[in-house]
A and B are shown apart, each in its own frame.
Chain A
């Protein structure tokens, strides 16, 4: 009875796993096919003669290096800068007593239901006035402070005992020194979590870079891919190679740092 049940369970899990993985595996497989191979009947799942032709084409004719560099540069700078901003704000919310602190924090939490789309039009106009449309700054600036990030850091920093901060103050450490040498090292796990979230979020983001980047040379990978997919409707294999280039970095980051990512979801789901 037990074995039958266990077999049944595993069969269902396996079917679900195959269905879940099939689109991704096919994406990898098709990116190594020769042009036109995917559009034959019956549709092949694996390439008959694996070739790197599509990737060569991406890097030479379509100049994808540009977009890879844009995406990497933007994601890394948003991650680094937002870690700094959010950790300072989160620390302040957790450990400083200032007037209206708890009210302000509640207001921030409540404003999480405001969809980002509401702010996009005025932000665009603002950045347009400042001459920041179609610049890296235009993409980086709105990503700097995130309410979710502040929340994560604050929850974590609350668990740091006040006595540690007092002791550092006795030793003559200033506010910045305390933040930099006491708080930050203790917050390391949650900082890694936030770094992964921010990196992936920025890498995968579509609507904002689509709006703010007007010049082809400034496109990020997802924006470029969406454009190419519109022009190259027939070039299935080429587009699959483009999709692999876009997805692979985030998949690898996730694979390497899974533990931190999952714990971030848990931390975000136990509010109040």
Chain B
């Protein structure tokens, strides 16, 4: 407990204090150089075009990648949960394997898969008659490339949780719906989705928290480029804090990120409560 207090709660408070100071590289040697500057860092964030860019990119990643990854997870879970399917453990293992891999390593791998000339993706698209895309070099395609990698890497995790949720739905409900003449879509909409709602809310929250912290993919593949089109909030915080040593400013960025995560989680929980009650 003391360890958590020492290495978690104190740092959270310290970070809050830090975010109200102009702590920089000079203060690193001598803490007393840092001065309180009140809300200046937060005002600066508000006026920093790079921050807005990073926020926009992070929200793009979250709002496009999140639902897509949840949809793929649910689809895979529904398929794997079908009675007719054989070799379930094998498929489950295959879908789950990317989840346990090291993000940095697979980002290195995908950087080559996205190679405009020799990459496998463009080659495969070429077989379908689609012209090569400069995935990581084109500001319009760099984010979709990040999202594709993230969905590939993560869908197995939520799939496992969805499968557990699906198995908790009593089989009688499906039988009753079938007897009433409900087709596949009707059963899906009026039995599966409502009963899966708590699972879906949980998954939405953890996916959102994870996607807000989007960092290693752009760090390894694009360094935030091209033209800052993949700069994320955490990458901006890292650059400000540990490359330029503007730690006061970086701490303020971290708190703004925290605020967004808090608001997002609260909104999800509120929506769920309202629907249930």
Contacts and interface: CB of A to CB of B under 8 A. Distances in A.
Interface string A196-224: 00001001101100010000000001110
Given A118-B12, A240-B109, A250-B101, 4 more contacts: A116-B213, A118-B11, A239-B108, A266-B160
B171 interface: no
Given A22-B120, A23-B109, A126-B11, A265 B216 contact: no
Q: How large is the interface on B (under 10, 10 to 19, 20 to 34, 35 or more residues)?
A: 35 or more
14 contacts: A9-B79, A16-B95, A24-B97, A24-B101, A41-B118, A85-B3, A115-B213, A118-B257, A121-B15, A122-B14, A207-B238, A211-B238, A247-B102, A250-B100
Interface stretch (A140-148, A157-165, A187-195): A140-148
Nearest to B266: A113
Chain A residues touching B, majority SS = helix
A225 B98 CA distance: 18
Contacts of A38: 112, 118
Interface stretch (B51-59, B185-193, B246-254): B246-254
B195 to A, nearest CB: 15
Q: Pick the 8 closest A-B CB pairs, nearest first.
A: A122-B14, A119-B11, A222-B104, A243-B105, A246-B105, A122-B11, A6-B84, A254-B100
Contacts of A262: 96, 160
A119 B257 CA distance: 12
A56 B100 CA distance: 26
Interface residues of A, number: 80
A26 B111 CA distance: 13
Contacts of B98: 20, 23-24
A49 interface: no
B94 interface: yes
Contacts of B28: 125, 128
A115 B105 contact: no
Given A42-B123, A115-B212, A236-B112, A16 B85 contact: no
A229 B108 contact: yes
A21 B216 contact: no
